[in-house]
A and B are shown apart, each in its own frame.
Chain A
Amino acid sequence: MASKRQFRVWRGDENGGDLQDFAVEVNEGEVVLDIVHRLQATETPDLAVRWNCKAGKCGSCSMEINGMPKLACMTRMSSFAEDETITITPLRTFPVMRDLVTDVSFNYEKARETPSFAPPAGVAPGDYRMQQVDVERSQEFRKCIECFLCQNTCHVVRDHEENKEAFSGPRFFIRAAELDMHPLDAKTDRKEYAQAEQGLGFCNITKCCTEVCPEHIKITDNAIIPMKERVVDRRYDPIVWLGSKIFRRTS
């Protein structure tokens, strides 16, 4: 079943690089990462690639395949036409280290700036009680494998390096949403924080993050928009205000 197919792989580092052509054998059932491995084992032993689990679980092998941000280990060769040349390039939004590997420390810095879970006061370990329906929304966001494909695709930073300072990106919007929806989180100003410090307002909900997320997390619909709405609650909504006066309910 093996056949030779055409590939173009970007090789280089911060001083420049180019797309190099290779003809590589492809077998039934293989994914793009298999091809990169075959190149390493044959023509280019020092071809740099980051990967780990090869099962779509760790989010290491993010790269751009025919221009689309994807996990190389989950992109099957059968999704391309036989005679199609497949172009493999590193993530564009982050600085390149070498070949297909980029420096993703932007994301780790943003993670560090995002306020952590605040445990409820006076609840001992083992005494946490939460209902399944109350944890489900946050659980969706905890499926995130930190592949940073969403961060890479988001035009706010992809096309505008200067926004990196003020914009945390979709991965950390879902983190903020996760904690805001966590039934026992004790911090109450996560929405304000998302708006003021994470740059939620930069997002124009064009949904590319959702489009590329390999975990199929509905980043925009279930995290970003609800967070924007929560900000609106606090600031502008007359009926919410009235309702809270009348019912004096805490949600």
Chain B
Amino acid sequence: MTELQRFQYDVVVIGAGGAGLRAAIEARMAGKKTAIISKSLFGKAHTVMAEGGAAAAMGNVNSNDNWQVHFRDTMRGGKFLNHFRMAELHAKEAPERIWELETYGALFDRTADGKISQRNFGGHEYPRLAHVGDRTGLELIRTLQQKIVSLQQEDFAATGDYEANLRVFHETTITELLLTDGKIAGAFGYVRESGEFLLFETPAVVLATGGIGKSYKVTSNSWEYTGDGHALALRAGATLVNMEFLQFHPTGMVWPPSVKGILVTESVRGDGGILKNSEGKRFMFDYVPDVFREKYAETPEEADRWYKDADNNRRPPELLPRDEVARAINSEVKAGRGTKAGGVYLDIASRLPAEEIRKRLPSMYHQFKELADVDITAEPMEVGPTCHYVMGGVEVDPDSTQSRVPGLFAAGEVSGGMHGSNRLGGNSLSDLLVFGKRAGEHAAAYADSNGPSTVAQSDVDAAIAGALAPFTNDGENPYALQHELQLVMNDLVGIIRTEAELAEAITRLAAIRERVSRVQATGGRRYNPGWHLALDLRNMLVVSECTAMAALERKESRGGHTREDHPEMAAEWRKVNLICGLDGEKVTLNPQPLPPLPPELLNLFEKSELKKYMTAQELEGHGG
């Protein structure tokens, strides 16, 4: 029998990114014995990569900003497919969550009067992103990490044990959630270093595992993003929403090939960078869609004036929401006006003095200098779209973040609904904080009235057998199979989609499914990346199937889902969420009506604007 370590916790948080850490802090402060589990080392979760900033309507730079404006921007960005309540809570609570970070020791860039400075970003009407140069994610995660350490120090002072109430299990991967009587009862996983198995018995699990981008070949995401949380939720009986919506960030590096996909922060454009095609034309003026026409400049002169005087000029079209910019770049390249490496030019060198660029965009400067040998203060960058963020995720109750499974909570990128069909830049970091806190709070409250939990031995045995299966399989090498999966998703379920390609993708994924179940790991259990990947693969697969099926089903183009064969946005489809579930081994897809906006929120918009998105019948509730 394989040995197994058992732990009892009140709350187990899976994921040590922004959402997970914030949830854990909240649960611990509510007096709950809390565990944090993370695949990578503590402090290295994907959140460190976030660059641009965290959106919160603090109004420090432009005092016209407030939660209503932020709410409106978020809904517009998501093309009104967002769960209104999540967008509302997010806009209202984000400032408090940011201010709180300062009490943990965060040091954001400042305004002249000593407040937190805020920067412009695509889709945000006012400068709204709290930031630290272009390393905001690092600041966020380090701050939360250090807050956790400070809570551990308090526990140490009180009990002599740093880990009495809050313990981090890093380099540990959860492979199964275990249920008893239809409720969460535990989580099972392995320690990367030793290959040993762990069982956490707990009534409440918070999923904060981030995204799924590693299913794509060209992505800004790291190896962690294999959709584990999405898959764990599915297997536990929860549902996913909006899985067809993936955000392709318009500006990823395209050269050299080995770094293709690595992100070039949107701050480059927020700080004045412009996009040009190989003919030297600033092409974004040709791509402003009707719904945004009134808000964006029509000439370069007006666009340039906006940086100085935002109140009297309209925004440059480079700052359109990401889906629009990504599609525009895609079209330019397809039309033969791209660079040799298949991108377009992003030029900041001719827009700001070299010193200023190095000061505002230090990591970008280094990234290009060191990886591509390009000096961005002297030459333009070459950029193209890269898979960046999944809007879809676990379907949760907005206030409590609880999924359909009692005791299973989800926050951060792994949850769905908040961003609708497209996320605005900067709205993720604030999302992590707002809903991370809520998840921690409600998980703690749930643990009060449930638990302690016990898990059936047979379930544990099954989990162990599943985890060890790759060692006894006789199938292929996981790396090759992963590569194949990435190609299918990249080529057939990419930025522009068609019915035929999606159907083909589904067939090919079915074939891959067959092979995934037989994939083989060689070597031993100790720190064996081949084995780890073999286990991750089935998660990537089931999530990819959800995405492909939902993309085939949704016959319109909206946000992060573009159908060449259905290029229009359809008001009827706006009322529908596609819900992905699991029935045994089989992925299921069901339409579900979107909750309608209550009048007080509806009235925050002009009727003329809503008409572009909604049916006449829906607008009956509108006051004006």
Contacts and interface: CB of A to CB of B under 8 A. Distances in A.
Interface in B37-51: 40-44, 46, 48-49
B367 to A, nearest CB: 7
Interface string B104-141: 11010110011101000000000000001101001100
Contact of A45 (B147, B156, B479): B479
From B107, B110, B149, B527, residue with most partner A Cβ within 10 Å: B107
Contact of A116 (B113, B150, B478): B150
A29 B258 contact: yes
B110 A131 contact: yes
Given A40-B479, A46-B531, A142-B132, A108 B42 contact: yes
A41 to B, nearest CB: 4
A128 B529 contact: no
B529 A45 contact: yes
A98 B530 contact: no
B529 A60 contact: no
Interface stretch (B92-100, B421-429, B430-438): B92-100
Nearest to B162: A112
A59 interface: yes
Nearest to A131: B114
A47 B371 CA distance: 24
A244 interface: no
A179 B143 CA distance: 12
A228 B372 CA distance: 39
A123 to B, nearest CB: 8
A70 B115 CA distance: 37
Contacts of B152: 112
B222 A54 contact: yes
A56 B433 CA distance: 24
Given A34-B258, A40-B479, A53-B222, A125 B96 contact: yes
Nearest to A77: B258
A203 interface: no
Contact of B479 (A29, A41, A108): A41
Interface residues of A, number: 59
Interface string B149-177: 11011001000001000000000000000
Contact of A74 (B46, B49, B107, B371): B371
B256 A29 contact: yes
Nearest to B257: A29
A57 B135 CA distance: 9
Given A51-B223, A53-B222, A130 B529 contact: no
A117 B48 CA distance: 20
Contact of A125 (B48, B99, B115, B372): B99
Contacts of B616: none
Nearest to A58: B44
Contacts of A108: 42
A27 B259 CA distance: 12
A230 interface: no
Interface stretch (A99-107, A155-163, A194-202, A231-239): A99-107
B479 A128 contact: no
Interface string A118-148: 0100000110111110010011001111100
Contacts, number: 172
B606 interface: no
Contacts of B524: 46
A116 B223 CA distance: 31
A28 interface: yes
Given A125-B99, A143-B135, A182-B107, A46 B150 contact: no
A208 interface: no
Contact of A27 (B258, B478, B521): B258
B149 A116 contact: yes
A237 B132 CA distance: 36
Given A53-B49, A57-B138, A74 B528 contact: no
Interface string A153-185: 000000000000000000000000001001001
B255 A111 contact: no
Given A115-B153, A139-B107, A143-B138, A45 B363 contact: no
A108 B146 CA distance: 11
Contact of A56 (B110, B114, B370): B370
Interface in B530-582: 530-531
Contacts of A139: 107, 109, 132-133
A240 interface: no
A31 interface: yes
Given A45-B521, A60-B41, A116 B146 contact: yes
A56 B146 CA distance: 21
Contacts of B113: 129
Contacts of A55: 49, 259, 262-263, 367, 371
A65 interface: no
A100 to B, nearest CB: 9
A46 B528 contact: yes
Contact of B370 (A13, A76, A115): A76
Contact of B102 (A51, A125, A131, A145): A125
B99 A126 contact: yes
Given A45-B477, A74-B370, A142-B142, A40 B259 contact: no
Interface string B177-204: 0000000000000000100000000000
Contacts of B372: 29
A72 to B, nearest CB: 12
A241 to B, nearest CB: 31
Given A29-B372, A30-B256, A130-B110, A45 B522 contact: yes
A145 B47 CA distance: 12
Contacts of A49: 529
A97 interface: yes
Interface in A6-41: 13, 27-31, 34, 40-41
B193 A103 contact: yes
A52 interface: yes
Contacts of A225: none
20 contacts: A27-B257, A29-B257, A29-B371, A34-B258, A41-B479, A41-B480, A46-B521, A48-B528, A54-B259, A55-B371, A59-B44, A76-B370, A99-B527, A112-B162, A116-B150, A116-B153, A119-B105, A125-B102, A130-B114, A143-B138
Interface of B: 40-44, 46, 48-49, 95-96, 99-100, 102-105, 107, 109-110, 113-115, 117, 132-133, 135, 138-139, 142, 146-147, 149-150, 152-153, 156, 162, 193, 222-224, 255-259, 262-263, 363, 366-367, 370-372, 477-480, 483, 521-524, 526-531
Closest 9 interchain pairs by CB? Answer: A29-B256, A46-B523, A117-B105, A116-B150, A45-B530, A129-B114, A125-B99, A41-B479, A48-B527
